[in-house]
């Protein structure tokens, strides 16, 4: 089964836009972090957790660490699929990881991680709201995915 047909776990779709490409004719590497962000926000939306986040609440899941491995290029108009897993560590550290697929390749075109801490509007570390914490504790984090 091609990973694009595997609908288990959470995933997000993203169509590559012209303004995301660069002189090499592929998606600029900085835009992978933006596409990961989209996937993260869509995960929050799917769990009804957007209300716990700015601008609705005094909380932002600030990015404190990112990493990305670029394995194969992403081209204009590619209909990308981003699988996502999330894990809470301790009281306030949230790990997201991502696998990105395109219709052109069987294997992932990129993998990445982002690490987050909850900050309030003064950019100080704050407590995770209970609904968000409960959802995070329910999440599965597996070695074989998607």
Choose which of 4, 50, 57, 136 interacts with its own copies (CB under 8 A): 50
Among 75, 95, 105, 145, binds its own copies (CB under 8 A): 75
**Does 91 interact with its own copies (rule: CB under 8 A)?**
no
Q: Which of 2, 69, 104, 127 binds its own copies (CB under 8 A)?
A: 69
Pattern of binders to its own copies over 109-138, x per CB under 8 A? Answer: --------------x---------------
> 113 in helix, strand or coil?
strand
Degrees (nearest 5) of the Cα angle 61, 115, 78? 95
Cα–Cα dist 127/130, whole Å: 9
- CA 59 distance to own-chain centroid: 18
Given a contact cutoff of 8 angstroms between Cβ atoms, the answer to whether 86 and 77 are in contact is no
Quote the tokens at residue 111.
Answer: 């993998």
Which one of residues 4, 9, 10, 73 is an interface residue with its own copies (CB under 8 A)?
73
Is-contact 96 80, C-beta < 8 A?
A: no
Q: Does 38 help bind its own copies (rule: CB under 8 A)?
A: yes
The region of 4-12, 34-42, 96-104, 135-143 touching its own copies under the rule CB under 8 A is 34-42
């Amino acid at each position: 089964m091609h990973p694009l047909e595997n609908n288990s776990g959470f995933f997000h779709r993203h169509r590559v836009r012209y303004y995301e490409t660069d002189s090499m004719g592929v998606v600029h590497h900085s835009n992978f972090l933006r596409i990961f962000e989209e996937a993260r926000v869509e995960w929050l939306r799917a769990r009804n957790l957007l209300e716990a986040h700015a601008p609705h609440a005094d909380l932002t899941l600030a990015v404190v660490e990112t990493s990305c491995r670029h394995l194969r290029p992403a081209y204009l108009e590619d209909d990308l699929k981003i699988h996502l897993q999330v894990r809470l560590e301790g009281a306030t550290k949230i790990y997201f990881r991502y696998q990105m697929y395109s219709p052109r390749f069987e294997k992932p075109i990129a993998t990445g991680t982002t690490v987050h801490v909850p900050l309030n509007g003064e950019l100080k570390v704050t407590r995770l709201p209970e609904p968000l914490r409960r959802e995070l504790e329910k999440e599965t984090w597996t070695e074989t995915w998607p």
